[in-house]
Amino acid sequence: MRRQVMFMAPVFLGILAVFIAVGPGPLRASRSLTARDWRPVAAQGLTLDLPADAGAPVQDPGDPWSATEFHGPSLGRLRIARERPLSELPPALRNWFELPNLLDGPLSYQVHRQPAQVRPVTVFGPSGHQVRREGRLLVAVCVFDLGAYRYWVQIRTPGGSRATLAGFHRVLLSMRGPDGAGVDPLLASQLRDAEQGLAPGIVQGGSWAPFIPLGVLLLAAGLVLAVGRWSGRAPKLPEGLGGRYFQAPVEVLIAFRMQRKYFDAAIAVLDDRLVVYTFGSPFLTVPLAAIRGKVTSGDGWFPPPYLEIALEGTQDFRKWGRLCGAWRGRTRLRIYTEDILRLRGALGA
């Protein structure tokens, strides 16, 4: 079964190359959120710290909102917008966050059948904080009033882990107003509570999620090896124990035209026939008289060497008849074993 797994190796290596190219992206993003290479930026009258990969600011002089956006792998799309408020904050939060009632405490609910969680916080004063899913996106928003303006600070990022949400909270905690004053000391504990009491399904389980398919493939390879060892076990009452030769397990190849099948088997050479067993029962029986003069030996790409038997005509497959029925005509049976000389002598070849 080793050769079958070896032939699978190029596929595994190709998939591994893809994951090496793609997978470290979320890992690098998570590391950048905890690293020290953050930088202060000014946006919409605020000063705040952003990851070094946040990119250059993009201005959006909208109406009534004016906004500054940053794009980067760590936080995705970060938008800082402000307007002159036309109403009180509580009813505005109820409309913007699609709340069933006014925000007076933590609430888990659904927005368009996607999980969402909202809670009151204190940034520079009474404020609202929401985290929700939008399909594959994690969206986190904080809305607050400061001076004559109302601010909307939001990230939209694909996937979204707890590290991403913690990075957004780090941005909020670093904010300073036009007068240089920082946020309310209560905000740190409120954001910790938001992270700890997060509703299920909002954030991903972790940054290793992209590597789950690779783990599944490795598990599949393990199952292939396990099934191969089971296929190559000796039968409970092998006829070969009283014959000329018996070996289990041994790797076997059956080749017909462009078809090749590697599997583990047990083989027995009796007085008049060669029997190949799979899963403890006969799979193929070949009369010794039909193979004399048709046996050659050789070395594969890696040990052990092999003995190859050229078979002619329709073979006597004891099982999987429909599958093997196409193997009519010239078929090659190759047996990989270190015991080449004794097997060849038993075959009378």
Domain ranges for the chain, please list them: 2-210, 234-347
Strands (DSSP E) contained in the chain are: 38-43, 46-51, 58-60, 66-72, 76-83, 107-111, 114-122, 126-134, 137-146, 149-158, 245-256, 259-269, 273-278, 281-287, 295-298, 306-311, 316-317, 331-336
Is the pTM for the entire model greater than 0.75?
no
pLDDT class of 46 with cuts at 50, 70, 90: very high
Q: How far, in whole angstroms, is CA 101 from its chain's centroid?
A: 40
Q: Is 151 exposed, middle or buried (0-12, 13-18, 19+ CB in 10 A)?
A: buried
Helices 2-22 and 212-231, packing angle to 10 deg:
180
Q: Residue 229: its pLDDT value, please?
A: 72
Beta bridge partners, 40, equal 49
Neighbours of 301 (CB within 10 A): 6
Q: Which two tokens stand for residue 175?
A: 């904010």
**Yes or no: is domain 234-347 CATH 2.40.110.10?**
no
Task: Determine if the peptide bond prior to 10 is cis (ω within 30°).
Answer: no
Q: What is the pLDDT of residues 137-194, one digit of tens each?
A: 999 999 999 999 999 999 999 878 888 999 999 999 999 999 999 999 999 999 999 9
C-alpha distances (whole Å) from 245 to each of 17, 49, 167, 333 are 45, 76, 68, 17
Q: Which two tokens stand for residue 231?
A: 């296929």
C-alpha distances (whole Å) from 76 to each of 12, 14, 129, 209, 242 are 31, 28, 18, 18, 71
Cβ atoms of 1 and 228 within 8 Å: the answer is yes
Cβ atoms of 214 and 16 within 8 Å: the answer is yes
Beta bridge partners, 89, equal none
Q: What is the pLDDT of residues 53-97, one digit of tens each?
A: 899 999 988 888 999 999 998 899 999 999 999 899 999 999 999
Q: Is 297 exposed, middle or buried (0-12, 13-18, 19+ CB in 10 A)?
A: middle
> What does the pLDDT average to over 258-274?
86
Neighbours of 337 (CB within 10 A): 17
Q: Residue 193: its pLDDT value, please?
A: 94
Question: E strand or H helix at 29, and its extent?
Answer: helix 24-34
Lowest-pLDDT range, 1-5, 60-64, 97-101? Answer: 1-5
